[in-house]
Structure 1
Amino acid sequence: MANWVIVELNRNSTNCTKIIEDIVRIEKNIFPKHESLARSFDDELRKKNSGLLYSDVNGEVGGYVMYSWPSSLCATITKLAVKEDFRRQGHGEALLKAAIQKCRTRNVQRISLHVDPTRIPALNLYKKLGFQVDNLIEGYYSSDRNAYRMYLDFDTD
């Protein structure tokens, strides 16, 4: 079992370019071209109020999560992906928990995300961490691929 740790991407770190290249490679392997942020990844990271965490497995990116908090009320998990070799080892759960914690420190009241209903492992992970299905959005990803909009509310007291 490899040792790994969740790290926040630091744009000023010496290995930032390599990490982004690794993430873009994962992105291209996992997501259909029209869903991939590979071409616009750098722009996404430059956006105000956004963050990226990744799992560092002995210098290799095992997975990553992107999130943003456009307002003080709501944050969004924009991407969560784990490299095939590292699936079912807790990377996705650890990344999601870390992103939820980052969002909590911003005092948001809700985190939302979209997930393809056919991606059962992802759906189960979100439910395990307390996300609830809000509704089905037909044609969200493409004309023949829908998405569940899911949310996690925080107690405001």
Structure 2
Amino acid sequence: MDEAPAALAAYAVYVRQKGLALLHKICVAEPYRRKGAGQRLVQYIQQRLQKEGCQCIQLWVDKNREPARRLYLRCGFLEREEVPDYYAPGRTGIRMVYEYRNA
């Protein structure tokens, strides 16, 4: 049995605390970027968390990570706060929030 291991396309890390989820990381492997994998993953997480009774998802993203910011905006997240030097000197963090409409 010389089967090649399945390639990992994407993964996410989040923590849910009652009605709030903190999305820590979304990672999409290079061959799957700009093909919808990240958006499908975020939408899956949103649906799963809604079924679990979540009311809000929050995340932080580097202001200079335009592709990531666009992804989250397409998925309904809103930019709520900017914190200069959040990641390192000169690297601003943006807090983004997704709120379920029927929460």
- What TM-score does the superposition give when structure 1 sets the normalisation length? 0.59
- Matched with 1:146 is 92
| Deviation for aligned residue 1:144 | 2.1
Could you say which structure has the higher helix fraction?
Answer: 1
Gaps spanning 5+ residues in structure 1: where? Answer: 1-57
Residue 65 (structure 2) pairs with residue 119 (structure 1)? yes
Q: Which amino acid aligns with 1:63?
A: A
Which among 85, 89, 94 is matched to residue 31 of structure 2?
Answer: 85
CA contact (8 A) 1:75 1:110 kept: yes
Coordinate RMSD, CA, aligned:
1.4
- Matched with 2:52 is 106
Residue 14 (structure 2) pairs with residue 67 (structure 1)? yes
Aligned residues: 99
| Deviation for aligned residue 1:68 | 1.2
- How far apart, CA to CA, are the structure 1 residues paired with 2:83 and 2:52? 28
Matching of residues 3-42 of structure 1 within 5 Å: none
- How far apart, CA to CA, are the structure 1 residues paired with 2:36 and 2:92? 26
| Deviation for aligned residue 1:140 | 1.4
Q: Give the stretch that moved more between structures: 97-106 or 122-131.
A: 97-106
| Deviation for aligned residue 1:126 | 0.5
- How far apart, CA to CA, are the structure 2 residues paired with 1:143 and 1:103? 34
- Percent of pairs with identical residues: 29
| Deviation for aligned residue 1:88 | 0.8
Gaps spanning 5+ residues in structure 2: where? Answer: none
CA contact (8 A) 1:115 1:148 kept: yes
CA contact (8 A) 1:67 1:99 kept: no
Which consecutive segments of 4 or more residues in structure 1 shift more than 4 A?
none
Q: Which amino acid aligns with 1:90?
A: G
- How far apart, CA to CA, are the structure 2 residues paired with 1:139 and 1:73? 29
Could you say which structure has the higher strand fraction?
Answer: 2
| Deviation for aligned residue 1:155 | 2.2
- How far apart, CA to CA, are the structure 2 residues paired with 1:128 and 1:156? 19
